A = this chain, B = another copy of it.
């Protein structure tokens, strides 16, 4: 199905940018999971805010309301439904999207896909706003994982080619991870972060936008998670990550750089670290044969520059089939990357929770 994901629970997201609300249903969750609305709220706030200066001025509070599935602060085991009502809508801003394609956006492809019946206002179901339900579920998953000693953290690895310092995220302690998440612009090096921020501000001044790379790691996952072939840990996680608007690439471990190594360099040799099986390097990103090996799961995600830019652009009117020029109105982020960081973390948390719930399936 299109807007659903998960095997051991199932998240379905719904909503359009200008419909009554957006939200989700999480079906098949175990009963008795604490629902920490504060933790979820903090994660939603990170998604909503982004870089204060360069992000779009549209700032909805994103207050989720639980419709069902929570009783006495814990999941009931029956579908957990939640909604974030839409407010602050300026539908008029988007009226031209009914027929003029914003380059890099889904206006045209969505028009064809839905025969013109889709709600084009604000991008409709394609709006980045639809990541909020994912973050709600991701926040719930992240809290659940924390209680099991599993941590998820992401950083901005680069903006428009400007790189953060070269340190593996998986070497961070839990306190450092928490500090990273508290940053409005989450880089390891604050100095590098400042350079990136300035680059984004310059793009904004130039009526342009920039993208970047987000790096994420999951620590504390046991070995043995993942299913063979189409159910590989990478398969499920990449599927989630490519559902995030603007993501155009996903790589695990050394990723594309591993193609420049030889086998003897790329292979992660195993050794015993006391009672633990570990690898000396982690070029495979904690996954062998689609199944976790107990090392940190590491991956990177390419986020394209925000396609909404204030410059005039050439395009087409897809109702009249004529060339057209377009200036995208409304308020838009010059750099969506900081807001995408908690979304990427949410994908990681959801994937890890799903596999942990599935367990190893061994007959005893």
Contact = CB atoms under 8 A, between A and B. Distances in A.
Nearest to A284: B104
A43 interface: no
Contact of A263 (B3, B208, B280): B208
A196 B239 CA distance: 32
Nearest to A259: B211
A31 B227 CA distance: 12
B362 A30 contact: yes
Interface in A192-229: 203, 206, 208-213, 222-229
13 contacts: A1-B231, A14-B78, A14-B79, A25-B25, A31-B363, A75-B117, A77-B115, A113-B291, A209-B264, A232-B243, A245-B289, A251-B302, A266-B305
Nearest to A207: B264
Contacts of A68: 14-16, 19-23, 125
Give the size category of A's interface with B.
35 or more
A313 interface: yes
B249 A255 contact: yes
Contacts of A74: 117, 363
Contacts of A226: 109, 113
Contacts of A283: 304
B160 A260 contact: yes
Interface string A12-36: 1111100111110101111111000
A2 B255 contact: no
A20 B260 contact: no
A69 interface: yes
A67 interface: yes
Contact of A230 (B101, B243, B251, B364): B243
A37 interface: no
Given A125-B229, A211-B266, A31 B258 contact: no
Given A32-B115, A125-B78, A277-B318, A239 B248 contact: no
A288 B97 CA distance: 15
A106 B290 contact: yes
B67 A285 contact: no
Contacts of A316: 270-272, 277
A261 interface: yes
A245 B65 CA distance: 28
A181 interface: no
Nearest to A118: B76
Contact of A235 (B76, B114, B240, B267): B240
A275 interface: yes
A234 interface: yes
Contacts of A361: 28-31, 77, 357
A265 B160 CA distance: 12
B242 A238 contact: yes
Contacts of A16: 68-69, 71, 76, 78
A110 interface: yes
Among A130, A260, A294, max chain B CB count under 10 A is at: A260
A327 interface: no
A136 to B, nearest CB: 14
A189 interface: no
A81 B28 CA distance: 18
A168 to B, nearest CB: 16
